[in-house]
């Protein structure tokens, strides 16, 4: 009998059942998939770090160094340090590198490419089988990032050229790099043979050192970092710790897993809502039969079981299918992880936990069903038999009357009155519309903000047209002087300001000194937007980035001790700003500095109106080589390009999902409502209301709820969405969306209104099929 009931029910609600099952399948699939991602990520990362024998601490240094000093430091701390090696990175400008036979060089890429030899002690560069790479002369191993970006294959060519000199390499493998793997790290290592490295070094490039350490106990990483910073050893460059490496490696795929889990949660909620509507409609339609069963003496529990089995079978089947699909799709879910980190060790948990994930979706649905089916208790056998439908508990009429209303259109009036009298009934639908608006608007606003020229405010810089960047080189002073001289004379330049970043020691809470990179220069020409306070005005004021302010627990007015020269200086925190660059930890002050000690310098430039940005960029690129010249819009795109591209996809998916959810929930909600109000509809038909008249009433209700939902959704998207977006980009404490009113106030609401209109249009048949004779029963 159960099987027959199930079959009949599936036949009766083919489309709804199919949609409902799809949502359950998707939810189960995504939860299983996300669990797989997390497990694979953790396993693969451990394997990569183990096979590469990763370094625990690495300090980059541009400039001269004495290995003997480092050796002395190692001997001094031999109980702490297990191993040390100094890697020579041969930095070659992008303009000299041509990858995969492409006509254009890597000049426009933000990636800093360096050529290295295989390490001898640890931090090995691995191939795609996680084996230590060995290359012969004329061969090269290219980072996975480049392979993915240019769709490279084994056998493709890489050319390095400089004037007359050129050298071609054949790609023999793609390399996994435990330190520089992720696309978020803008340094990449290419592996060549020792001989080729030597011949390249003779012709071009600049050496940067990476001083690497391995510890006996990775828990003592902080201790080593502090000892190193205090030792006066070479440190003109970024430092990376083992934990940071792990976080950065896990970040992009970890975020993907979190987003998938969020979507799965959303789908589970939607599936639950759909299920609720389906069940309530079925109960409404079966009301008389339920009454008969009750009158026959069948208990509530037994009746509930009849319905429960139906949905339990459906959700069990859907969750099983979802899990099976996730097994098939596992490679897609974990493709990126496998590509960048390889496969990790498989344990029984890799199989068991995804099943548990799908099981949780199943359990959530069943619990939800049980809650909904509790309403059987409230059905009176007598009322069910007499009226065939749930009695309407409304006693009180709303204050709006047709006779007193100025609205002359009866259908419009009836639609409005229904919603205003019974807004609670429509609360759920309103919530869905809020959710849909939120889903549509947040990614659009986020993208719009990222693409806005004002976004530079979140990058710790004022708005400008072009910027010049130069990392430390021995001739940094000469290069800066040359650039400044040129800019001073260039009539196309409206204004410019140079900012120098130097490392200072700052006292932490426990009295220990830590390094902090501080930008020094004229902050008035390109003013920055401060979330709190303002720019430093004198030599005793310092502005901190939001992340630094959080780390040191400082707010404007607080004091901070800095070592300037060899003297302690009490600085007052004057402002806090947002910065997503350089790991988000920066500061700005007006301090005396030695240009020779500058880690890098930046020059912000505004051009005269009408001057071509691109031409100027090219001119400066040639003139100031190897200074990197960036169009700021392009700079934002290159820094956040990955996020922007992904957001484009998210926008499309979110838009589609929102439209689908709005259509589905509207269809189900109104189907339930129409089933409940079938007799009222028949009465109206008997009075002479046409199907179109009645549809107008339902349309009015839907649009009214939609407008309320969209308004609340848009406001929520702006308020809550800004916080959510701020969480996604580290370094941004307070994001203010740049709203494009065309998208948020016109396009998204119109898309939802059209969706709802079309959906209500589909309910025409349901309304038409209600027999007017029902009024006579």
Partner 1 sequence: MNNMNTILEVKNVTKAYEMGKNNRQTVLKDITMTIQKGEFVSVMGPSGSGKSTFLYAVSGMDRATAGSVKFCDMDFSSMSEDELAKVRLSKMGFVFQQSNLLKNLNIFDNIILSACLSKREAKKEIKERADRLMEVTGIAELKEHSITQASGGQLQRASICRALMNQPEILFGDEPTGALNSKAAGEVMDILLKINQSGTTILLVTHDARVAAKTQRVLFMMDGVIAGEKEMGKYQEQKGDLKIREQKLTEWLTERGL
**Binding footprint of partner 1 on the chain (CB under 8 A):** 392, 394-398, 401-403, 408, 410-411, 417-418, 421, 680, 683-693, 768, 772-773, 775-776
* Tokens, residue 676: 């409940």
Task: Select 328 or 397, whichever has its Cβ closest to partner 1.
Answer: 397
d(CA 766, CA 671): 8
Task: Determine contact, residues 87/136, Cβ cutoff 8 Å.
Answer: no
Task: Select 56 or 701, whichever has its Cβ closest to partner 1.
Answer: 701
Task: Select 100 or 398, whichever has its Cβ closest to partner 1.
Answer: 398
Distances (CA, A) of 91 to 126, 139, 313, 606: 20, 18, 62, 30
CB of 685 to partner 1, least distance (A): 6
d(CA 92, CA 365): 57
CB of 399 to partner 1, least distance (A): 11
Task: Select 496 or 699, whichever has its Cβ closest to partner 1.
Answer: 699
CB of 398 to partner 1, least distance (A): 8
CB of 686 to partner 1, least distance (A): 6
Task: Select 408 or 566, whichever has its Cβ closest to partner 1.
Answer: 408
**Sequence-distant contacts of 219-227: CB under 8 A, at least 24 apart:** 220/80, 221/56, 221/57, 223/80, 224/56, 224/57, 224/77, 224/80, 224/81, 225/57, 226/512, 226/513, 226/514, 227/73, 227/77, 227/80
Task: Select 587 or 695, whichever has its Cβ closest to partner 1.
Answer: 695
Task: Determine contact, residues 405/311, Cβ cutoff 8 Å.
Answer: no
CB of 299 to partner 1, least distance (A): 32
CB of 773 to partner 1, least distance (A): 6
Sign, Cα dihedral of 194, 198, 201, 207 = positive
CB of 392 to partner 1, least distance (A): 6
b/e map 304-313, b = 16+ CB within 10 Å: bebbbebbbe
CA angle at 151 for the pair 149 and 152, rounded to the nearest 5°:
110
Task: Select 65 or 691, whichever has its Cβ closest to partner 1.
Answer: 691
Task: Select 149 or 422, whichever has its Cβ closest to partner 1.
Answer: 422
Task: Select 573 or 684, whichever has its Cβ closest to partner 1.
Answer: 684
Spatial strand order of the sheet with 97-99 comes to 97-99, 157-162, 165-175, 139-143, 187-192, 112-116, 81-91, 206-215, 57-62, 239-241
State the Rg of the chain over Cα.
33
Task: Determine contact, residues 81/214, Cβ cutoff 8 Å.
Answer: yes
Task: Select 729 or 775, whichever has its Cβ closest to partner 1.
Answer: 775
Task: Select 624 or 689, whichever has its Cβ closest to partner 1.
Answer: 689
Task: Determine contact, residues 43/351, Cβ cutoff 8 Å.
Answer: no
Q: What DSSP designation does 185 have?
A: S
Q: List beta partners, residue 88.
A: 209
Angle, in degrees to the nearest 10, between helices 287-295 and 300-341: 130
Task: Select 265 or 385, whichever has its Cβ closest to partner 1.
Answer: 385
CB of 678 to partner 1, least distance (A): 13
Complete DSSP assignment for 715-726: HHHHHHHHHHHH
CA angle at 556 for the pair 555 and 559, rounded to the nearest 5°:
80
CB of 386 to partner 1, least distance (A): 11
CB of 775 to partner 1, least distance (A): 6
Task: Select 273 or 672, whichever has its Cβ closest to partner 1.
Answer: 672
CB of 338 to partner 1, least distance (A): 60
Q: What DSSP designation does 106 have?
A: S
Task: Select 332 or 773, whichever has its Cβ closest to partner 1.
Answer: 773
d(CA 180, CA 773): 75
CB of 774 to partner 1, least distance (A): 10
Nearest Cα neighbor of 437 from 661, 104, 211, 125 is 661
CB of 419 to partner 1, least distance (A): 11
Task: Select 53 or 693, whichever has its Cβ closest to partner 1.
Answer: 693
Question: Which residues are CB-neighbours of 581 under 8 A, at least 6 positions away?
Answer: 459, 460, 461, 639, 731
Coil/strand/helix, residue 113: strand
CB of 681 to partner 1, least distance (A): 10
How many angstroms separate the most distant Cα atoms in the chain? 103
**Residue pointed to by tokens 């004021």:** 541
CB of 371 to partner 1, least distance (A): 28
b/e map 654-693, b = 16+ CB within 10 Å: bbebbbbbbbbbbbbbbbbbbbbbbeebbebbeeebebeb
CB of 428 to partner 1, least distance (A): 19
Task: Select 613 or 772, whichever has its Cβ closest to partner 1.
Answer: 772
d(CA 713, CA 125): 49
Task: Determine contact, residues 506/562, Cβ cutoff 8 Å.
Answer: yes
Alpha carbon 766 to chain centroid, angstroms: 42
């Amino acid at each position: 009998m159960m099987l027959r009931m199930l079959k009949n029910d599936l036949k009766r609600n083919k489309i709804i059942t199919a949609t409902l099952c799809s949502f359950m399948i998707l939810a189960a699939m995504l939860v299983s998939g996300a669990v797989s991602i997390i497990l694979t990520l953790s396993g693969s990362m451990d394997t990569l770090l183990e096979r590469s024998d990763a370094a625990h601490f690495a300090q980059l240094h541009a400039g001269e160094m004495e290995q003997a000093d480092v050796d002395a430091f190692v001997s001094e701390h031999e109980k702490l340090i297990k191993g040390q090696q100094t890697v020579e990175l041969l930095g070659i400008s992008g303009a000299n590198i041509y990858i995969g036979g492409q006509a254009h060089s890597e000049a426009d890429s933000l990636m800093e490419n360096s050529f290295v030899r295989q390490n001898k002690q640890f931090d090995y560069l691995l191939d795609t089988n996680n084996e230590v790479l060995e290359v012969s002369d004329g061969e090269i191993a290219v980072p996975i990032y480049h392979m993915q970006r240019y769709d490279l294959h084994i056998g493709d060519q890489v050319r390095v050229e400089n004037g007359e000199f050129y050298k071609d390499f054949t790609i023999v493998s793609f390399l996994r790099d435990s330190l520089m793997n992720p696309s978020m790290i803008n340094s990449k290592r290419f592996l060549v043979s020792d001989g080729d490295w030597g011949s390249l070094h003779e012709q071009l490039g600049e050496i940067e050192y990476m001083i690497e350490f391995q510890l006996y106990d990775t828990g003592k990483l902080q201790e080593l970092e502090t000892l190193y910073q205090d030792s006066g050893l070479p440190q003109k460059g970024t430092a990376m710790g083992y934990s940071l490496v792990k976080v950065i490696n896990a970040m992009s795929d970890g975020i993907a897993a979190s987003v998938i889990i969020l979507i799965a949660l959303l789908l589970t909620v939607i599936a639950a809502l759909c299920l609720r509507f389906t069940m309530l409609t079925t109960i409404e339609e079966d009301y008389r039969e339920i009454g008969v069963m009750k009158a026959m003496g069948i208990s509530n529990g037994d009746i509930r079981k009849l319905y429960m089995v139906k949905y339990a079978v459906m959700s069990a089947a859907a969750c099983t299918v979802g899990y099976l699909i996730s097994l098939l799709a596992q490679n897609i879910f974990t493709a990126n992880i496998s590509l960048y980190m390889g496969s990790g060790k498989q344990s029984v948990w890799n199989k068991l936990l995804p099943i548990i994930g799908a099981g949780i979706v199943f359990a959530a649905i069943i619990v939800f069903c049980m809650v909904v089916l509790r309403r059987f208790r409230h059905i009176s056998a007598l009322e069910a038999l007499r009226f065939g439908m749930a009695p309407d508990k409304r006693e009180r009429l709303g204050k709006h009357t047709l006779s007193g209303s100025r609205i002359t259109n009866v259908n419009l009036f009836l639609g409005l009155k229904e919603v205003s009298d019974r807004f609670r009934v429509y609360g759920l639908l309103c919530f869905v519309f809020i959710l849909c608006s939120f889903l549509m608007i947040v990614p659009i606003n986020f993208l719009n903000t990222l693409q806005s020229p004002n976004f530079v405010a979140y990058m710790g810089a004022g708005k400008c047209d072009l910027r010049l960047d130069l990392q430390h080189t021995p001739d940094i002073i000469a290069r800066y002087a040359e650039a400044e001289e040129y800019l001073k004379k260039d009539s196309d330049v409206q204004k410019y300001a140079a900012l120098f970043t130097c490392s200072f020691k700052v006292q932490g809470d426990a009295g220990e000194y830590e390094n902090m990179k501080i930008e020094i220069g004229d902050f008035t020409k390109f003013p920055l937007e401060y979330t709190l306070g303002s720019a430093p005005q004198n030599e005793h004021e310092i502005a901190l980035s939001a992340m630094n302010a959080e780390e040191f627990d400082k707010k404007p007015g607080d004091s901070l001790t800095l070592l300037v020269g060899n003297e302690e200086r009490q600085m007052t925190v004057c402002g806090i700003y947002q910065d997503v660059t350089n790991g988000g930890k920066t500061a700005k002050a007006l301090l005396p500095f030695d240009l020779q000690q500058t880690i890098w310098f930046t020059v912000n430039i505004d051009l005269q109106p009408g001057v071509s940005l691109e031409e100027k960029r090219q001119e400066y690129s040639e003139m100031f080589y190897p200074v990197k010249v960036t169009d700021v819009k392009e700079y934002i795109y290159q820094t956040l390009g990955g996020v922007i591209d992904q957001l484009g996809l998210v926008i499309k998916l979110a838009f589609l999902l929102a439209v689908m959810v709005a259509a589905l929930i509207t269809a189900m909600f109104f189907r339930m409502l129409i089933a409940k109000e079938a007799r009222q509809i028949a009465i109206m038909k008997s009075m002479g209301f046409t199907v179109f008249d009645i549809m107008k009433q339902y349309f009015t209700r839907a649009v009214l709820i939609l407008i309320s939902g969209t308004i609340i959704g848009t406001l929520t998207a702006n308020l809550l969405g800004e916080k959510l977006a701020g969480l996604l980009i580290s370094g941004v404490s307070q994001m203010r969306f740049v709203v494009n009113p065309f998208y948020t106030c016109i396009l998204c609401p119109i898309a939802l209104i059209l969706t709802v209109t079309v959906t209500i249009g589909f309910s025409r048949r349901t309304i038409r099929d209600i027999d007017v004779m029902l009024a006579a029963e």
